[in-house]
């Protein structure tokens, strides 16, 4: 018997695989990852000699491959992280988002049901709920109202998972988390982008007025939430996770500049993201009550540690400075970046 993690070479997946090896040392872990631009096997290089961990290079949309992985490894539970995850890229081209997030999830779900997997944990996002005004929080009963192609693809996958439970009685649990930060996050996302631009002496692009609000959670707390949902969640349910840590983008950028000893004159207000969601804030009381989960990482400490991690691992960002990421940065920001 083994656990299957999809997208384990990405940011959250790699942090989750590491947690799983610590928390369930007797379970074998298989990581199925297509190694897109965001997947980096080096994120799990510390597990190279771990005989209970195995990497399989492949796509979740490849049904024969998924069938083989599920049966060869007698997969008992699936933790589904694999996705196209960046909103700005979904605005440039939604095709890969539909292929992986919708069709890939459908393939993985159907194959998992056919293979009689005991539980399927679908890792989703708070972005499926749309945007909040000044007040209120997303709860699990908030209607889904996705605003970006990324969010629409994730909401579609949530619906497929929900329908699979309702129609076939398949044991599924959905997790919906707010904005993660921490080690191994791809530098297209706000926090690592700001850190790596500061390190490279580049300007910091802030979309629009920077007054949009995100609820930040350390990746270790999200990973612990996914595991708690697997262990204690009720079949067919969704659970929200958030950091109870709302920040405007502009205040977060200023905090990082301050932390890294750089002036606020590096800030550049650039064209806003089309359809930019104003505010996300999560009510995670259901997860606290029913899963025994709670946020553990203090934001100031988590952020300082994250800056420390990027500073201690310049080679990691350096490797990502591939032709592909350069091209994306140029088309997104109009100048050469990291
Ligand atoms: P990421 O972009 O860092 O990693 C995605 C991983 O999935 C990569 O390793 C990539 O190679 C792999 N992948 C992509 N398409 C694949 C395919 N077709 N087959 C197999 N592997 C494939 O993403 P992340 O930020 O770690 O997010 C992981 C999951 O968590 C996603 O489902 C995302 O929607 C969700 N999520 C992310 C956040 C966040 O703040 N980053 C918050 C809530 C939920
Ligand atoms: O809420 C969960 C979601 O958080 C996840 O589902 C997504 O996978 C993840 O990418 C993240 O989405 P966001 O769009 O909120 O994250 P991002 O880091 O791209 O942007 C955070 C905020 O910062 C957002 O309001 C846009 C803004 N921003 C972002 C970038 C990259 C800027 O102002 N400038 C930038 O250059």
Determine the 3-state secondary structure of 3 from DSSP.
strand
According to the model, what pLDDT value does residue 322 have? Answer: 65
Q: Are 85 and 37 in contact (CB under 8 A)?
A: no
- Alpha carbons 201 and 48: distance in angstroms, whole number: 34
Distance 263 CA to ligand 1 centre (A): 33
- H/E element holding 55? strand 53-57
DSSP 138: B
Out of 53, 59, 129, 150, pick the active-site residue. 150
**Whole-number percent of the chain with pLDDT over 70:** 98
Using CA atoms, how far apart are residues 329 and 337, in angstroms rounded to an integer? Answer: 6
pLDDT score recorded for residue 327: 81
A 10 A CB-CB count for 251 gives 13
Model confidence over 311-331: pLDDT tens digits? 999 989 888 866 678 888 888
pLDDT for 166-187, tens place per residue? 999 999 999 999 999 999 999 9
126 annotated active-site: yes
Q: Rounded to an integer, what distance in angstroms lies between the CA atom of residue 120 and that of residue 315? A: 35
Q: Report whether 238 contacts 209 (CB < 8 A).
A: no
How much is the pLDDT for 263? Answer: 97
- Ligand 2 centroid–CA 49 distance in Å is 35
Q: Are 83 and 100 in contact (CB under 8 A)?
A: yes
215-237 mean pLDDT = 98
Q: Is the pTM of this model over 0.85?
A: yes
Q: Which residue has the higher pLDDT, 335 or 199?
A: 199
Which structure tokens are listed for 18?
């590491």
Convert the pLDDT of each residue in 52-86 to its tens digit.
999 999 999 999 999 999 999 999 999 999 999 99
> Taking Cα atoms as reference points, which of 137, 155, 287, 301 lies closest to residue 222?
287
Length of the chain: 338
Confidence bin at 336 (pLDDT 50/70/90): low
Query: Does position 279 have pLDDT exceeding 90, yes or no?
Result: yes
Asked whether the beta carbons of 221 and 295 are under 8 A apart, the reply is: yes
Residue 337 scores a pLDDT above 80: no
Cβ-based neighbours of 263, under 8 Å, separated by 6 or more: 257
What's the token pair of residue 267? 């800030």
**75: which 2 tokens?**
């997969």
- Domains defined for the chain, CATH in brackets: 2-333 (3.40.50.720)
> Is the confidence at residue 334, as pLDDT, over 90?
no
pLDDT over threshold 80, residue 92: yes
Binding site membership of 126 for ligand 2 (Cβ less than 6 Å): yes
Strand pairing category for 119-125 and 213-218? unpaired
| Residue-level pLDDT at 323 | 61
Contacts of 300 (CB under 8 A, 6+ apart): none
pLDDT band, very low/low/confident/very high, at 97 (cuts 50, 70, 90)? very high
Say what the pLDDT of residue 89 is: 98
Which of the listed residues 80, 82, 87, 100 should we mutate to test ligand 2's pocket, taking the one with most ligand atoms within 8 A of CB?
87
* Element containing residue 215 per DSSP (H, E): strand 213-218
> How far is the centre of ligand 1, averaged over its atoms, from the C-alpha of 86 (Å)?
9
Ligand nearest to the CA of 205: 2
Cα–Cα distances in angstroms (integers) from residue 321 to residues 15, 201, 337, in the given order? 22, 15, 9
């Amino acid at each position: 018997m083994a656990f299957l993690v999809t997208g384990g070479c990405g940011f959250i997946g790699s942090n989750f695989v590491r947690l799983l090896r610590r928390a369930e040392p007797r379970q074998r872990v298989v990581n199925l990852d297509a190694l897109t631009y965001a997947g980096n096997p080096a994120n799990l290089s510390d597990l190279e000699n771990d005989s209970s961990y195995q990497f399989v290079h492949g796509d979740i949309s490849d049904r024969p491959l998924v069938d083989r992985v599920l049966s060869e490894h007698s997969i008992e539970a699936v933790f589904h992280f694999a996705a196209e995850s960046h909103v700005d890229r979904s605005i440039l081209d939604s095709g890969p988002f539909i292929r992986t997030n919708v069709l890939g999830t459908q393939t993985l779900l159907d194959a998992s049901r056919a293979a009689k997997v005991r539980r399927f944990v679908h890792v989703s996002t708070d972005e499926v709920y749309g945007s909040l005004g000044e007040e209120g929080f997303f709860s699990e009963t908030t209607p889904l109202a996705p605003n970006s192609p990324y969010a629409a693809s994730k909401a579609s996958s949530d619906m497929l998972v929900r329908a699979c439970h309702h129609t076939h009685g398949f044991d599924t649990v959905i997790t919906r988390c707010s904005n993660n930060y921490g080690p191994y996050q791809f530098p297209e996302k706000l926090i690592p982008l700001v850190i790596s631009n500061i390190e490279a002496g580049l300007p910091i692009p802030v979309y629009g007025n920077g007054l949009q609000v995100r609820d930040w959670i350390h990746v270790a707390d999200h990973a612990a939430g996914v595991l708690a949902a697997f262990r204690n969640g009720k079949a067919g349910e969704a659970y929200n996770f958030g950091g109870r840590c709302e920040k405007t983008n502009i205040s977060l950028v200023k905090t990082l500049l301050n932390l890294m000893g750089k002036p606020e004159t590096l800030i550049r207000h650039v064209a806003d993201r089309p359809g930019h969601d104003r505010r996300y804030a999560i009510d995670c009381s259901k997860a606290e009550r029913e899963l025994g989960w709670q946020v553990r990482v203090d934001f100031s400490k988590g952020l300082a540690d994250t800056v420390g991690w990027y500073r201690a691992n310049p080679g990691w960002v350096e490797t990502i400075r591939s032709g592909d990421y350069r091209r994306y940065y140029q088309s997104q920001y109009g100048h050469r970046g990291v």
